[in-house]
Amino acid sequence: MSYSLETIRHSAAHLMAAAVQELFPDAKFDIGPSTDDGFYYDFDMTHRLTPDDLKVIEKAMQKLCNQKLPFVQSELSRTEAQTLLSSKNQTYKLERLADIADGSKITFYQCGNFSDLCRGPHVEHTGQIGAFKLLSIAGSYFRGNEQNPMLQRIYGTAFASKEELHNYLQQIEEAKKRDHRKLGKELDLFSFSENVGPGLVLWHPKGAFIRNTFESFWREEHYKNGYDMLYTPHIGRSDLWQTSGHLDFYKDAMYSPMNIDETDYFVKPMNCPFHIEIYKSNLRSYRELPLRWAELGTVYRYEKSGVLHGLLRVRGFTQDDAHIICTPEQIEDEIAEVLRFSLSVWHAFGFTDIKPYLATRPEKAVGEPERWEKALVSLERAVEKCGLKCEVDEGGGAFYGPKIDLKVKDAIGREWQTSTIQFDFNLPERFDMTYIGEDGKKHRPFMVHRALFGSIERFFGILVEHYAGAFPLWLAPVQGRVMPITERQHEFAREVYAELRAKGLRVELDDRSASVGGKIKDARNDRIPYMLIIGEREVETRTVAVRNRNEGQVGEMSLTEVAEKMRFEVDNKTC
RNA sequence: GCCAAUGUAGCUCAGUCGGUAGAGCAAUUCACUCGUAAUGAAUAGGUCAACGGUUCGAUUCCGUUCAUUGGCUCCA
């Protein structure tokens, strides 16, 4: 009999709880579900768990495993269950019990000396939990509510076989190798400084080069696709943020205002109000619509200290923002176009596995129901038109409008939430945006916020991990390194360097008196795409021995040939 | 913000049961002139995160703060 991963993991969670009960008899238990890649269990006890405890608990688990203890189900009445849990002082479990609706079955699973309120199912006996490993300790609020006490959580994972567990652990290792924080340091791309402040990115020359290159690409693509670019200030009067509603809803997450001429100015947490002000700077006719206005707008948000994470969550970031303002008749085509555009941009970076998620109207929402309906239909049709299938997150939209989010899979299969296309029925009302229709009357336009990358910082972090630091040639800050073998080749090497530079290729010259092997090792560490090695033979024939990051040694080539090969890769944005 | 861990040279890390620190890599200099993943030697490099307490003496013990890491909550 084989069991699903969920069952195995859920059973592993029980097994872990059994071991914890044995080692720490005062432990109170909450819940221990399986997750996408493992399981966890939450405990409350006086002992503070340390990483060393994980090994001890694992050992105890292994012992229980070897005993092949059966999981025995029993059904209890509510009163019986209450009595049982009360006698063990399991206060969290009692609360969980109270959640179970009247009339539903109340079941317990016994495994060795550990009995747990649980719906099941489980494996037959502990010997069937193939392979497991405890991974980390964390804190977590009871019921995920920050008002509640914090419990201690142990994360682990389990698989049917040792081999699968091994593969999973290897994948974690692979992800660690690609960590953009590690590579960012190694490749000298960016840093943070305590003197500047947490979550504020310092872009080093190489990182800035990559950013600048894909930003240029972003701008070109936007102009090609009918967008106009805007620039707006970094601060604005408090009145503006009062009108937009930000001060009512997000004041705590905004940087404190600076008082100038007796007026408070806030650093912008969003670009929208500025774009709207530009819209309102003129009386607008339906003939001008749709307007597609984009800006790489840098915003600041006071994110809670505990959530900051490398480039993926920062306090100062640049949104690749755009607002589409159009008539209700135009909205469907506009959305389809945004989606198509987003996909094409992701493809350029080698992301091909993209899934849309549609979020619909939540309980509390602004905007007329017909507008929501029309918006939803246009989102659905756009997804269809692009030949995609979306998952629906019922009631998951923002209070101000429905949205589509895109999740893209990177080179090692991890999903990242990136692009977002959001309707906004709130700001057009608040700012009283109008246009004059064919009928000569004022109408309320549709407004859509959209970001392809989400934020430049986050996108950059994802890119680093996706490429594992080996940026494709069109993005690589250094595309090639000229490496003379001895000093006798320095003169020709300088010639090669100058000529390739003149051809617009970003090459460096490594004229250190190191061995070829040493130079190659360094170039590999720096993820240099092309190594151009020059010895006596190459000087004689006026060629370079080409070694490519991916292909290895590709042989001797003339400068023209190398330049063409590289140019081809750049032009095609080969990933 | 909350729970927990961590903070020693540019990087990766040793170390000090309290007597102010060490390696490898990187850097600099010199020698070497080498054919596809590390040539050798020498030199330099530290307020041991910051501040306070205990102590004759603190990088080490205690406290506070800051930052980072793993989670939780949050993400307009």
Q: What's the pLDDT at A432?
A: 98
Q: What's the pLDDT at A104?
A: 87
Contact A210/A460 with Cβ under 8 angstroms?
Answer: yes
Q: Which residue has the tokens 């023209």?
A: A560
Q: A513 CA to B39 C1', in Å? A: 10
Contact A3/A107 with Cβ under 8 angstroms?
Answer: no
Q: With pLDDT > 90 as the criterion, what percentage of chain A qualifies? A: 93
The two counts, helices (H) then strands (E), for chain A are: 18, 28
Is A319 a catalytic site residue? yes
End-to-end CA distance of chain A: 44
Q: A30 CA to B41 C1', in Å? A: 63
Q: What's the pLDDT at A526?
A: 96
The pTM score is 0.95
Burial class (CB in 10 A: 0-12, 13-18, 19+), A342: buried
Nearest residue to A229 (alpha-carbon basis) of A174, A171, A293: A293
Four-point Cα dihedral A284, A287, A292, A297, nearest 10: -20
State whether the beta carbon of A217 lies below 7 angstroms from any atom of strand B: no
Is A323 a catalytic site residue? yes
Q: Catalytic residue among A315, A403, A450, A458, which?
A: A403
Nucleotides of B under 7 A from a protein CB: 1-5, 11-12, 31-39, 66-76
Rounded (5°) CA angle A543-A549-A553: 45
Nearest DNA or RNA nucleotide to A420 (CA to C1') = B76
Q: With pLDDT > 70 as the criterion, what percentage of chain A qualifies? A: 100
State whether the beta carbon of A181 lies below 7 angstroms from any atom of strand B: yes
CA distance A474 to A535: 28
Nearest residue to A129 (alpha-carbon basis) of A41, A16, A33, A40: A16
State whether the beta carbon of A148 lies below 7 angstroms from any atom of strand B: no
Q: Give tens-digit pLDDT for A56-70.
A: 999 999 999 999 999
Burial class (CB in 10 A: 0-12, 13-18, 19+), A483: buried
Q: Catalytic residue among A42, A53, A321, A510, which?
A: A321
Single-letter amino acid code for the residue at A390:
C
Contact A274/A268 with Cβ under 8 angstroms?
Answer: yes
- A403 φ/ψ angles, rounded to the nearest 5 degrees: -155, 160
At residue A52 the predicted structure's pLDDT band, cuts being 50, 70 and 90, is confident
Q: What tokens were used for A384?
A: 């269809």
Q: Give tens-digit pLDDT for A420-470.
A: 999 999 999 999 999 999 999 999 999 999 999 999 999 999 999 999 999
Q: Give tens-digit pLDDT for A162-216.
A: 999 999 999 999 999 999 999 999 999 999 999 999 999 999 999 999 999 999 9
Is A125 a catalytic site residue? no
Single-letter amino acid code for the residue at A245:
G
Nearest DNA or RNA nucleotide to A186 (CA to C1') = B11
Average pLDDT over residues A33-50: 93
At residue A1 the predicted structure's pLDDT band, cuts being 50, 70 and 90, is low
Is A449 a catalytic site residue? yes
At residue A51 the predicted structure's pLDDT band, cuts being 50, 70 and 90, is confident
State whether the beta carbon of A451 lies below 7 angstroms from any atom of strand B: no
Nearest DNA or RNA nucleotide to A245 (CA to C1') = B76
Q: What's the pLDDT at A64?
A: 93
Q: A51 CA to B14 C1', in Å? A: 21
Contact A12/A130 with Cβ under 8 angstroms?
Answer: no
Is A301 a catalytic site residue? yes
Q: A424 CA to B26 C1', in Å? A: 52
Q: Which residue has the tokens 């997000």?
A: A250
Which ipTM was obtained for this model?
0.95
Q: Give tens-digit pLDDT for A133-162.
A: 999 999 999 999 999 999 999 999 999 999
Q: A212 CA to B30 C1', in Å? A: 41
Q: Give tens-digit pLDDT for A230-247.
A: 999 999 999 999 999 999
State whether the beta carbon of A309 lies below 7 angstroms from any atom of strand B: yes
Kindly report which amino acid residue has its CA closest to the C1' atom of nucleotide B38: A518
